[in-house]
Amino acid sequence: MRFTHQFDKSRIMEKMDAIAALSALGQETRLDVFRMLVRAGPGGIAAGDLAERLGVRSNTLSTHLAVLVRAGLIASEREGRTILYRAEFDGARALIGFLVGDCCADRPELCAPFIAGLPGALPVKAGS
CATH number at residue 66: 1.10.10.10
Domain assignment of residue 106, yes or no: no
Q: What pTM did the predictor assign? A: 0.75
Which pLDDT does position 119 carry in this prediction?
60
Tens-digit pLDDT profile for residues 89-101: 999 988 888 887 7
DSSP letter (8 states) at residue 124: P
Average pLDDT, whole number, for the chain?
A: 82
Which pLDDT does position 122 carry in this prediction?
47
Residue 121 pLDDT more than 60?
no
Q: Please tell me which residue, 33 or 108, carries the higher pLDDT value.
A: 33
20 vs 73: CA distance, rounded Å: 10
| Domain residue limits at 66 | 15-101
State the alpha helices, DSSP H only, in 41-121: 47-54, 58-70, 89-100, 112-116
Query: What strands, in cross-sheet order, belong to the sheet with 45-46?
Result: 45-46, 82-87, 74-79
Domain assignment of residue 127, yes or no: no
List all residues 6 or more positions away from 36 whose beta carbon is below 8 Å from its beta carbon: 45, 50, 53, 54
Residue 59 pLDDT more than 80?
yes
87 vs 85: CA distance, rounded Å: 7
Cβ 33 vs Cβ 68: under 8 Å: yes
Domain assignment of residue 73, yes or no: yes
- Per the structure, the count of domains in the chain is 1
Q: Give the Å distances, CA to CA, from 128 to 12, 93, 101, 105.
A: 20, 19, 15, 13
